[in-house]
Amino acid sequence: MFSPDNAEDFELTKKSLRIDTDDDDDLLKKLMSAAIYTLIGKIGTDKTFYDGDAKDEFDTSVMFLTDHLYRTRSATIEGTTVTEIPLSVQTFVLALKADYKVYILKKEAEIIGG
């Protein structure tokens, strides 16, 4: 599964955010972890799902959400403006939720049937 502890995944995320320095590496790893945790919470907790057919979509979602968290990292909200999760991430979440449901139903059918 996509992970900030995997050097290849981490470097791909840095490239996608166009970060050339190591100054924010620790922060970026924490944000990646938060993005993964958030997405799994919204989609489903069976981590084997994220290494299968949904791998590319999940990995891309993590990079998109990490980018959003990195660029909107203020701990306070000024005025009444609220920053929402980007539409691109929401679109992936909705698609992945449907795929996850099918995955779980197939997995349960295999247990019952075999």
Residue 20 to residue 77: CA distance in whole angstroms = 28
Residue-wise pLDDT tens digits, 39-72:
999 999 999 999 988 999 999 999 999 999 998 8
The predicted model scores a pTM of 0.85
Phi-psi region of 77 (alpha: psi -120 to 50; beta: other; left: phi over 0): beta
- What is the predicted pLDDT for the residue at 53? 86
What stretches in the chain show pLDDT beneath 70?
A: 74-83, 114
Looking up tokens 């924490």 gives: 30
Mean model confidence pLDDT for the chain = 89
Residue 97 to residue 91: CA distance in whole angstroms = 10
- Cβ proximity of 13 and 63 under 8 Å: yes
- What is the predicted pLDDT for the residue at 62? 96
